[in-house]
Amino acid sequence: MLNIILFGPPGSGKGTQATRLKDRFCLKHLSTGDMLREEKSNGTELGLEAKRFMDAGELVPDHVVIGMIAVRVDEVLNKGGFDGFIFDGFPRTVAQAEALDKMLSERETAIDQVLALKVGEEELVKRILLRGETSGRADDRDESIIRNRVVQYEEKTAAVANYYAQFDKVTYVEGEGGIDEITEALAAGIDALV
Ligand code: AMP
C-alpha cells in the first residue's frame, strides 16, 4: 500500500491537490473536513457536536475525528479497489498522528510520506476569502475565523510535521505558484516512493 498525508495550513491547497493526485495513484482520498461537513449537513449527532467547533475555527475533539477516520479506513480496506490512502486535513494533532499510526500498524500498513505544502499566512487568508465567495462555508467568509484556523494550525497542527520528521517521512513542497506545477512537484514526491 501507499499511504500519503497531504499536510499544510488551511487554504494551502490540500483538497485541490488531493483530488488531482488520488486518480493518478489510485488512492482513496479521505478528508476529515469533508466528512464533518457531510455529518453537519445530514444533521447527525456527530455533525451537531462538531458544528460549534467548526463554526468557530477550532479543532473538533480528537476522539471524534479518530473514530470517524477508523470507520472509513476499514470500509475501504474491506471493500478493496485502492492502492492506498491520501489523508487530507488529518492528522491535525500529534495525538491524532499517533492514533493513525497505531490504527495503520494494526492493519499491517503505515504512513509512507508526509507531503507538506508551504504557503504564507497572507496568501492563505486571501485564498480562503476568495473560496468563501463560492464554497458556501461560513468558516471561509469571516476573516477572524480564518485567522483563528491559522492560529490553531500553528499551535496544534504544525507539530505533526515534527512528529513525522523524527521518522524521516516529511517532504516540503512549495505551495505558492501554478496549480499544475504544484501537482507535478507533489507527484514527483510520490513517484520517488514507488
Ligand atoms: P478543513 O475542511 O480541513 O479546513 O476542515 C474544516 C474544519 O473541520 C476545521 O476548521 C476543523 O474545525 C474541522 N476539522 C477537520 N479536520 C479535522 C481534524 N483532523 N481534527 C480536528 N478538527 C478537524
One DSSP character per residue, 27-74 reads EEEEEHHHHHHHHHHTT-HHHHHHHHHHHHTPPPPHHHHHHHHHHHHH
Walk me through the domains of the chain, giving residue ranges and CATH numbers: 2-188 (3.40.50.300)
Q: Can you tell me the mean pLDDT for 145-149?
A: 97
Give percent of the chain with pLDDT exceeding 70: 100
Over residues 56-71, mean pLDDT: 97
Query: What is the distance in A from the centroid of ligand 1 to the CA of 79?
Result: 26
Closest ligand 1 atom number to CA of residue 10: 4
- Beta carbon of 8 within 6 Å of any ligand 1 atom: no
pLDDT at residue 121 in the model: 96
What mean pLDDT comes out for the span 82-102? 98
pLDDT attached to residue 87: 98
Whether residue 92 has its Cβ less than 6 Å from ligand 1? yes
- Find the radius of gyration of the CA atoms of the chain: 16
In the prediction, which pLDDT does 125 show? 97
Average pLDDT over residues 49-66: 97
**Per-residue model confidence (pLDDT) at position 194:** 84
Joined grid coordinates for residue 158: 504544525
Q: What is the pTM of this model?
A: 0.97
The finding on whether 51 has its CB within 6 A of some atom of ligand 1 is no
